[in-house]
Amino acid sequence: MSRFFELLKREFKQFFGNTTLLMVFFVAPIIYAVMLASVYKSGKAVELPVIVVDEDNSPMSAQIIEMLEDNEGIHVVKTISESNDIQAQMIGEDATAVIVIPDRFEAEMLQSRYPEVMIYTNTVNLLTANFVSKNIQVTLGTFSAGAEIKALQRKGMPGIQSVTRYEPFKQNYVKVFNETGNYFTFMWPAMLTVVLQQVILLAMAVSIAYEVEQKTFGMGIVSKTKSAITTVLVKVLPIWILSVPMIAIFYGFHVLYGAPLPGSPLNFIILTALFIVSATFLGIMISAFLPNALKATQILMLMSAPGFIIGGYTWPTFAMAQPIQWLADVLPLTPFLSAFKLLLMENATLSQVSPFMIHLLVQCIIYFGISCILVRWRIRKESKKMSLVSE
C-alpha cells in the first residue's frame, strides 16, 4: 500500500505541475459553463424579426399587424405594401418570416369568402423557424377565431352559441416536464456534461502516452510496480477525486443560473460516478495503446467530438445509420445523457433508468479489462527496454 500511495502522490504532483492540464480541467469548464449559460439563458427566442406585406391596407389588416406586434416572440421590422421578391426582402432584413395579407382581405372576410394569408418562413434555422411559426399561428389563430365569432353574431347568433358553434369541442394541452418550453433548461445542463467528458478524456489521453513519450513511464511507474491494475488505478484516481469539486462547481452554476436541480441527489451521484469511471477507463485504454500523447488526444477527441450529436439527446438514435448507433453506444456520454435527461427533467426513478446504468456499468467493466491488458503489455515493453539498458 505504501508503494501505491507513493505512486498516487507522484500522479497528483504531475497533475498539479502541468499548468496546461490544470487550465483544461478546471478553468476551461468554468469558462464554457458561463459562456453557454450566456448563450441559452433567455430560454426562448423572442422578438424574432418578421416582415408584413400589407396589400389590403385596411383596418382589419392593421389589427393583424398590431396583434403580431403584441406577441412577445415576434417583432415586425418592416411593413410594405407589395410582395416583390420575398426572398430578397427576407435576406435584407434578416427576417425569419414574411406574412402577406392579400388585397381585398377585409372585404372577403366580411363576405365570408375565406381569403388566404401567405406565410413564408425561413427554415434555414429550424429552431427559429419553429418558434416564429408557432407564434404566428397563435396570433393569426386568435384573430381568425375572433373574426369568425363576430361574423356569427352579426347573423343574429347569441354570443355563447356562436362560440360553441365555432369551437364544437375544446382541446386542452397539458405540458409536462419543462412546462415552459425553456431551451436553456433543456440544453445547458447537457452541454456541461459534454464539457466534462471532453476534459476527462483530454486529461486521460496524456496519462500514459505522455510518460512513454518522455521516457518516464519505466523509471516512474514500472520500476515501482509491475501490476497493471495498480497502474490503472493510480492513473485514474486523481481524476476521480478532482472531478468531485468540478461537479460541485457545475451544480453551483445550476443554482446561480436557475437551472433544474436533481430531485434525488443519490441517483445522480451513482449515475455521474459510473459516467466518470467509464470515461476515465476509455481514456486510459487509448492512452496505453498509443505511445504518442498527441495521437492519443486526437483519437479521443475524434471519438468524443460528435458525442452530443450522435448521443440521442437532440435527435433519436433509431433514426441514425446503424454504424453511427454502434459508435454512439461506445461513448459513455450516450447512456449518461439518456439517464440524465430522465432524472433531471422528468424526475424518473433509479429503476426507470436502470438500462442506461447497466450500459455504463458494462462499459466500465470492458474498458477496465482492456485497459489492464494494454497497460500490462506496455509494462512488459518498458521492462524489456530497462533490462536492455541495464545490460
Instruction: Identify the residue with better confidence: 170 or 269.
Output: 269
Domains of the chain: total = 2
Check residue 165 and give its pLDDT. 54
Residues 384, 269 share a domain:
yes
78-88: pLDDT as tens digits = 898 887 788 88
Residues 73, 26 share a domain:
no
Greatest mean pLDDT range, 129-138, 152-161, 219-228: 129-138
Inter-residue contact 367 to 210 (CB < 8 Å): no
Residue of 192, 227, 189 whose CA lies nearest to 29? 192
**Residue 208 binned pLDDT confidence (cut-offs 50, 70, 90):** confident
- The cell 545490460 sits on which residue? 391
| C-alpha distances out from residue 352 to 97, 347, 362, Å | 42, 10, 18
Check residue 354 and give its pLDDT. 92
Residue of 102, 91, 14, 16 whose CA lies nearest to 52? 102
DSSP helix/strand/coil, 275:
helix
Q: In what order do the strands lie in the sheet with 97-101?
A: 74-80, 48-54, 97-101, 118-121
- Is the pTM higher than 0.85? The answer reads no
Domain boundary among 166, 193, 218: 166
Question: Is the pLDDT score of 153 beyond 70?
Answer: no
Residues 351, 257 share a domain:
yes
Residues 339, 226 share a domain:
yes
Q: Which domain holds residue 35?
A: 2-41+182-390
Check residue 177 and give its pLDDT. 76
CA–CA separation, 65 vs 80, rounded Å?
11
CA–CA separation, 363 vs 333, rounded Å?
11
314-336: pLDDT as tens digits = 888 888 888 888 988 999 999 99
Check residue 236 and give its pLDDT. 92
3-55: pLDDT as tens digits = 788 888 888 888 888 787 788 788 888 888 888 888 777 777 788 999 999 99
192-201: pLDDT as tens digits = 888 888 889 8
CA–CA separation, 77 vs 236, rounded Å?
56
CA–CA separation, 194 vs 176, rounded Å?
25
Domain boundary among 166, 201, 224: 166
Residues 241, 190 share a domain:
yes
Residue 86 lies in a domain: yes
Residues 322, 250 share a domain:
yes
Mean pLDDT of 136-162: 67
Check residue 274 and give its pLDDT. 95
Check residue 159 and give its pLDDT. 54
Residue of 186, 287, 189, 271 whose CA lies nearest to 236? 287
Check residue 388 and give its pLDDT. 65
Domain boundary among 136, 166, 196: 166
263-272: pLDDT as tens digits = 788 888 899 9
Q: Is 87 exposed, middle or buried (0-12, 13-18, 19+ CB in 10 A)?
A: exposed
CA–CA separation, 28 vs 22, rounded Å?
9
**Residue 168 binned pLDDT confidence (cut-offs 50, 70, 90):** very low
Residues 286, 252 share a domain:
yes
- What's the alpha-carbon Rg for the chain, to the nearest Å? 30
Residues 10, 72 share a domain:
no
Residue 176 lies in a domain: no
CA angle (145, 133, 59) in 5-degree steps: 45
Residue 177 lies in a domain: no
Question: Is the pLDDT score of 175 beyond 80?
Answer: no
Mean pLDDT, the chain, integer = 83
Residue 174 lies in a domain: no
How large a percentage of the chain has pLDDT more than 70? 91
Residues 236, 106 share a domain:
no
